[in-house]
């Protein structure tokens, strides 16, 4: 009978340990997939014409390019540069392009390289090259 009780206690200990590890794994996944608020504004003519503006909840660490593609229509890129958003792109011979800011500052990396962080604000504007 003692052996049976010892076996039951050992089984309970093993099951408790497995459950604890499972909870830790689940918690780690939740932390890894934390949703954070960001704001994306799409405009033309250096802000003269508003195209779209969205406040989103996205997974922290997602690339800005993924955020665009997942939340806006007709997003295209070439060599890491955004070439089209919401169907707006440069016509042949036109010297216009998409420019963007991150938290009010001119972007120093491409949208594909930038990993979003909590409360980031992005503005994409389609205008002529200066």
49 pLDDT above the threshold of 60: yes
Lowest-confidence range among 1-10, 51-60, 100-109, 116-125? 1-10
Please state the pTM of the whole predicted model.
0.74
Phi/psi for 106 (5° steps) reads -55, 135
Give the separation between CA 4 and CA 24, rounded to whole angstroms: 30
DSSP string across 19-85: HHHHHHHHHHHHHHT-EEEEEEEEEETTTTEEEEEEEEEEETT-BHHHHHHHHSSS-EEETTEEEEB
Average the pLDDT over 20-39 and give the result: 66
Average the pLDDT over 58-73 and give the result: 96
Phi/psi for 112 (5° steps) reads -70, -30
């Amino acid at each position: 009978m003692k052996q049976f009780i010892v076996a039951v206690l050992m089984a309970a200990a093993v099951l408790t340990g497995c459950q604890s590890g499972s909870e830790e794994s689940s918690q780690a996944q939740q932390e890894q997939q934390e949703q954070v608020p960001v704001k994306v504004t799409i405009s033309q003519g250096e802000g003269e014409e508003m195209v779209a503006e969205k406040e989103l909840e996205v997974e922290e660490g997602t690339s800005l390019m993924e955020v665009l593609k997942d939340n806006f229509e007709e997003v295209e890129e070439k060599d890491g540069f955004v070439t089209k958003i919401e169907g707006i792109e440069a016509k042949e011979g036109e010297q216009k392009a998409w420019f963007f800011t991150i938290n009010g500052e001119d972007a120093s990396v491409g949208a594909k390289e930038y990993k979003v962080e909590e409360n980031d604000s992005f503005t994409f504007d389609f205008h002529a090259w200066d």
